[in-house]
Structure formats: structure tokens, C-alpha cells
Structure 1
Amino acid sequence: KDPIKLTFDKAPEKIFAVYQNSIETLLALGLEDKIVAAAGLDHPVKEEYKAAFEKINYLKEFTPSKETVVMSEPDFIVGWYSLFKDKNLGDVSYWNDNGTNTYISLNSGIAIEKTIDNEITDIKNLGKIFNVEDKAQALVNKITESVENTANSVKNKDKQNTLVVEFFDDKISTYGANTLAGDMITKLGANLLNPEGNSIGKEDLITLNPDCIFVVYMDRGDENIPQQEVDKILKDESLQTLSAIKNKKVYPISLGEMYSSGIRTIDGINTFSEGLYGTLGK
């Protein structure tokens, strides 16, 4: 779809925030008092934002219904592209035509190339919308500096062949070069296998034989999930020839660190870097 241009006469006062990056970025910008409702955390909010999070109305619905949002009477909704599908909140035009502005995270589906730069753009845009540009710039500076420092610290390391996967029932989905995970891996100097990012079978995984594998998970508060997800590789008898298993380099990575990561962009870069080149999980 073509981009929609929205004009803000003043900063929104009643925000409905959906999903991890939306909620945490708003908290990081000090906007908790403007959040009328929030939903959709994959993981508990970061420690430094827990006090602010306690002030907001967090809903039990992971993806709120259209009726729930209407009842909250927001003047601004921030979330992912998928939030505005027909089965969820419906097209943004419905909300915009009824006086509610919307913001969709670039890396959640709008942008073809999903990059760290898009995460930075999201933070800057929210800073402009809410007149907290100084706070937004401080966050951006922290992310940019951390990414650059981490990338520089590993630039002379041996190039690792790596794969980022997510399990959907029996299907193994891979994250390609045009995903945020792919951008992070590339910035760290590693070689991303299966860059087209399609689904693969176990035979394909054996043929690719990565040095390192990252398994994506969403825990929703269940601390057992990360290990359960990596065990789908580690405990599979048919995969024991994999170099990644022999090298003890199969790691969990949370969805919130490498998909519309927001302020967790730093965490994502660090998790990938430590897994590729450090001692993560050993």
C-alpha cells in the first residue's frame, strides 16, 4: 500500500500501545502517563522500565480486539503491521477517518529491507510526534554507539557461517538477508546462510551445516521456552552431525531482540555477537 501522511496538530494524549517494542519505546521516552492501555508483551519489560510499566493499564488480551480498542477511546495507536489486518483492528484508514492517528513499526512489515536504521527512524519519529526529541536522540545515540562498538570489536574475528531459525510446528522458518536479524548478522561480519529466508527441512539444515544457529522464541513469561526451542535442534537425533551442535553453538534469541526490536536493538546485537564470537551459553 502507498504511505499515508498524517498531520499532528498536537502531541497525542491517549495512546494504545501494542507489542513489546511499542510499549518499551514509549516507556523509555517517559510517556507512560499518556498510555491508556497496552497489550502484547512477548517478555517482561526491561528492569529499568518496570516502575513506569506498573502505572499503565496492561490488558490480558495479547492482541486486543477492535472493540477493546474502541472502548479505550485512544487518539493514537502504535503497533505492528499485522495489528491492522482485518481479523484484528482493521485498516488504519478506519481509525484515521475517525480521529485516531496510527503508527506502524517500519520493520514489522512496511519496509522491504528491515534494518537497524529503521528501528532508529521509529524512535526518532515517536520523539517528534510527542515532542520529546531530546530523549529520542539520546536513545538513538546509545543504540548507534553500542552497535558500532560491538561491530568494531569483532571485525577481525573469523567469519562464522550462521543461521537464524524459528520453529512453526514441523516447519523450520529461516530469517533472510532482508530481515532485521539478517542486518544484525551482516553488520557483525558473519555469513548469513540461506539469505533468501525461506522455510527449510532438516535435510536442508544438515546440508547448510552452520557453525552457529540462533533459535528464535517468544516466552510470554515462561522461562522454560528458550531451552525448549533450542532442544528442538540439540536433542534431534537426526541433526547430531551439525557443526553447530558439535561446537556447542546453538543459542536462543528472543523475538523482541531481532524483530521490531526498538530499544532492545542493543540486546539483539549483543546476543548475536556473543553467540558468534564469545562465550554465550558455555
Structure 2
Amino acid sequence: MRRTIERRNQVNRKEKMRLTLGVLLSLSVCAGSADVYAEKTTDDDENTRESSQTYVTRDVEVEGEAARDYFGNEITEQSYYRTGGDVTVIDRKTLDRRHYDQLTDALRQVPDVLIRTPGYRGGEFQNGNTHSVVSINGDDRVVVLVDGRRMDNAAGNVTTWDSVGNTKATVDINQIININGIEKIEVIAGLSAALASRSSEIVDLEPQEAAPSGTAAGYPRVIDTYDSAKRPTRITLQRPPTRVLVHQTNTLETLLALGQGDRIVGVTLDTGGAVYERLREQYPDEIEKIRHAARRELSREHAIAYMPDFFLGWRSTFSPHRYGSTRWWNERGVDTYIVSTSNRVRGRATIEGECGFIDDMGRVFDVQEKSDVLIKEINAMLVYDEGDAAARIPQTVVVVELNGDEIVNYDEGDLVGDMVVRLGGRMPVKSAMIGAEDLLQIDPDVIFVLYFGAYDKAHAERFFRSRRFNFLRAVRGGRVYMLPFACVYTPAVRTVEGLRIIKSGLYPDG
């Protein structure tokens, strides 16, 4: 309710500003008439000798300071998304004056916009859409947004015949929102209009909220982090970020666990994959608040178009081939945060580093009570497990990842290694790679195999069923365990899950 009232107040202020500007122009012209001069002329025709007066006014220029975004660009109705294409704006006054009954009635008045309604028999002609859909300049790759939230895929809560696998505007445009509830319609045609997909056209049914200004209670806050060169740095926040761009799934899940889904303007997340289904099941309310989830990796151009005020990711996020350096973003007014346990920023990843990240996010978004709960769960498991492990004989542990037939080794410098050691395991292998013969010679008590998805998991299970590993102690004892990569690499809120899997593997009898 509060956000709705604030949006209405912003709309009212904008209308007043436009009205005031109109008055100023009228007043300026009237002021110029004080310098009007008259010239009386006489017609040569004696039958029509009449006086005529000619009034000449001076040109009047009215200048004002233009509003600018985070990147120094002037903000106008047509440059809101800062695209290179044509922008058509239909405001509330126009909708009321022309008495449109439906959205399609208004969109049909926009040049190069085509509304198609195949009807019930459309399916007979291999056209699955039986409702009104939009194409612009003959291109049906149209993104439909309501208040910045995408509505033409599964994340938009709109059921279409192929909403998961199709990026086209298969949503029924008339069923999204009643036309009486729309403040403004923006139709943007151009390459840069694709905020989150390969689409080249966009229809936005309401502008984004303006970011709040000023310093919030309890702020400013100074947060320690790193830059893209792994140098320690600090960011100073005047208030919790409101337009957050998130890269990598575990960083996203941390914000969802802290109840910050409504602050996320963009994230790369396959809405048709298993990860999305798990997040939707675990955080149903928060994931629906995300303004947009892109199924493909966002380009830097798309990331800029979101106009974020906070960018959260790994060190690799801010590499030249992805989104550029942290300095590049900072110079444009965007605060950046790099998870310290990613890409070995600190040299060695630890459980304390994960807890530090969770604590930082609690401070950034002013939800320390929630972050404290998550940290206590991790610490409680460690205290219990360390006491339990002290009474047991240390076991030899190897943690590997399979890259084809190559065996990649993880050691104590990795977070998973820190977990194993803290739980009482011993990791003798220090090299980055390990051969099959070396593995046979070490003959570990326990083997944990990291995997990314179902295919990797199945491949790992087949790999260790090979005859050459039949004599391994871990294979004979049935102690080769599959371990999700996401639970041991910058896991944040999933740290507890990773510890639980490792503990059950080390101590299967409890």
C-alpha cells in the first residue's frame, strides 16, 4: 500500500511539473508582449483605406536543469530505457480522451504495431495462440512488462500455450491488466530495448519507480569488500539499495532468504530449469517479487539498461569478458560487492568467509536479525560436529570433480576442504589434478564427487563403477558420495546443507 501511495504521489508531482512548465511558457510570452511595437500602414487603394497593425514578438527561451540518471544521461519520456530505437508514449490523459476500452485499442494507434487475434480456429493452422498478441515492425519477439516485470514467460505468472520455451509475446495482452489501471504505455522498438532476452521490441505498461534519495535511518553504512583486482575496498551506502542486479544463483538465494526479492531488478535464472523450481518451492513469495529473471546470460548493455544502484556477484562477474571492472561501475554511481570466497579472492575460502558474506548482506539491506539466524545455524552445526569428530579417528578424504576422464582435486584452500577439515577429515592431496593411479595409491576412506547437474552426477557414478576402482577402500565400503557443487562453492545460505552432506559421509552411523 505504501509503495502504491508513493507511486501515485510521484505521478501527481510529475503532472504538476508539466502544468507549471506550461504556465511559465505562457507567462514568458506575455512578458515579451511588453516590448511589442506597432507599425501602421496605409493601403494605396483609396476605396479600402484601412489601418492594419502588425505585431512582432521576440523569441523567448526557457531553460531548466534536466534530470539525469546514474550514468549522466538526461532522463526524458523517450529516453527512459536509453534505447537506440523509437519510443512511443501513451499517457493516461490520452487513454481517457480517446475512450479506449482495451489495451489493444490503444496499441493499434501506434505506428508499425500489429495486433493479431487468430481466434479459436488458429490451432488448425499451426498457430497455438488463440488470443491477442503483439508484433512491432513485423517482429513478434516482443517483451511485455508491467511496472518493469516481464509478463510473457513463466516467471510472469501468465499461462500461455508455450510460456516456458517461447520468448515471443504469446501472452494475451488484454488479460494482463485492466486498461483503467494503467498510468502510461511505452512502446519501444530497437535493438537495445531487449532488457532481458534476445527480443528486439518492448511494450512497458508502466514506468519504473524512481529510486529514493537522502540518507535512511541507521545509515550511512560502510561495507568492506573487494574490487575486480582482488584489492580490499569499501563502499558507503546512504540507504538500502533498491535496484539490485544479481549474478550467480547462490547470491540470489541469499537475498531471497533475507526477504529482499522486491529489490532485485534483474538476474540470470533459467525459469524452466530445476534450480528455479527449487527456489520457487523454497521461496515462493520472494521469487515472485523479482522484477525480471533472464533465461540467458545478460550482456553488459542489458545490465546497464536496468539502471542498478547495486551490483552483486563473484569476482569473475566483473571480468572484461562479462560486465567489466568494478571501477567502471563505481565511476557511474553503482556500488559493487564481490563475494570474498569466489575465485579465491582471499587466497583461501573458509566457512567464516561465508558467514561474513551473509552478515554483510544483512547490514546492506538492514535485516541483521534475519542474517543472524542464518549464521547461528551454521555455527551451531560446527560446534556440534567438531565435538563429535574429536572422539573419532581422522579419516582420509579426497574431494574431486570429473572433467571427462580427468580428475580435478580440491584441497584445504577450497571451502569444501575447510568443511572437511572442520568436521574431522584429513585431506592429503595438495595438487590441482590427480591421476587414477595416484587415487589408487592414496586409497582414501571417503570420496566426495562434486557435480553440477544430473548429467555430471550420472557420469561420476559410472566413472567410479569402473573395474579399475574396485579395490578402492571407499568403493568397497560404498562411501563414494555425490556432493552438489552449489553447496560447497560460495554456498552462503546453503553452507548448512553442504556441511550436513559431508558429515553424513564421514559419519554414516551418526
Q: Equivalent residue of 2:481, what SS? A: strand
Q: CA deviation at 1:40?
A: 5.2
Q: Does 1:70 align with 2:304?
A: yes
**1-side partners of 2:293 and 2:438: how far apart?**
42
Other structure's SS at 1:6 match: strand
Q: Any residues of structure 2 matched to 1:171-182 within 5 Å, and which?
A: 171-182=406-417
Deviation at 1:65, TM superposition (A): 2.3
CA distance in structure 2 between the aligned counterparts of 1:55 and 1:8, rounded to whole angstroms: 23
1:21-76 alpha-carbon deviations (Å, 9 max, x no partner): 20111011110000111125783445432332233222212x43212211222111
Query: Does 1:35 pair with 2:264?
Result: yes
2:243: which partner in 1? 14
Rounded to whole Å, the distance in 2 between the matches of 1:68 and 1:202 is 45
Q: Is the 8 A contact 1:251 1:275 kept in 2?
A: yes
Secondary structure of 1:4 counterpart: strand
State TM-score, norm by structure 2: 0.51
SS at match of 1:7: strand
Residues 193 and 210 in structure 1, CA contact (< 8 A), matched pair in contact too: no
Offset at 1:152? 2.5
What is the root-mean-square deviation in Å for CA atoms of aligned residues?
Answer: 1.9
CA 1:279 to 1:89, structure 2 compared with 1: closer, same or farther past 3 Å? Answer: farther
Identical-residue share of aligned pairs (%): 30
Structure number with higher strand proportion: 2
Q: How many residues align?
A: 274
Matching of residue 272 in structure 1 with residue 502 in structure 2? yes
Report the equivalent of 1:5: 234
| Structure with greater proportional helix content | 1
Which SS does the other structure have where 1:98 is aligned? coil
Residues 1:209 and 2:448 aligned together:
no
Q: Match for 1:190 among 425, 443, 446?
A: 425
Secondary structure of the structure 2 residue equivalent to 1:127: helix
Shift of 1:197: 4.2
Trace 1:1-282 onto structure 2 (pairs within 5 A).
1=229, 2-39=231-268, 43-44=275-276, 45-46=278-279, 47-56=281-290, 57-61=292-296, 63-109=297-343, 110-194=345-429, 196-219=430-453, 223=454, 225-233=456-464, 235-278=465-508
User: Counterpart amino acid of 2:288?
Assistant: E
User: Does structure 2 retain, via aligned residues, the 8 Å contact 1:150–1:269?
Assistant: no
Q: Distance in 1 between matches of 2:238 and 2:311?
A: 16
Equivalent in the alignment of 2:209: none
Q: Distance in 2 between matches of 1:50 and 1:230?
A: 33
Which consecutive residues of structure 1, in runs of 5 or more, have no partner in the other structure? Answer: none
Residue segments in structure 2 that go unaligned for 5+ positions in a row: 1-228
Distance in structure 1 (CA, Å) of the matches to 2:303 and 2:441: 47
Residue identity opposite 1:226 in structure 2: K
**Letter paired with 1:174:** N
AA partner of residue 116 (structure 1): I
Give distance in 1, aligned partners of 2:257 and 2:249: 12
TM-score for both structures, normalised by structure 1: 0.91
Alpha carbons 1:157, 1:277 under 8 Å: kept: no
Q: 1:157-206 deviations in whole A, cap 9, x for unaligned?
A: 33211110011233211111111001000001111131x24111111111
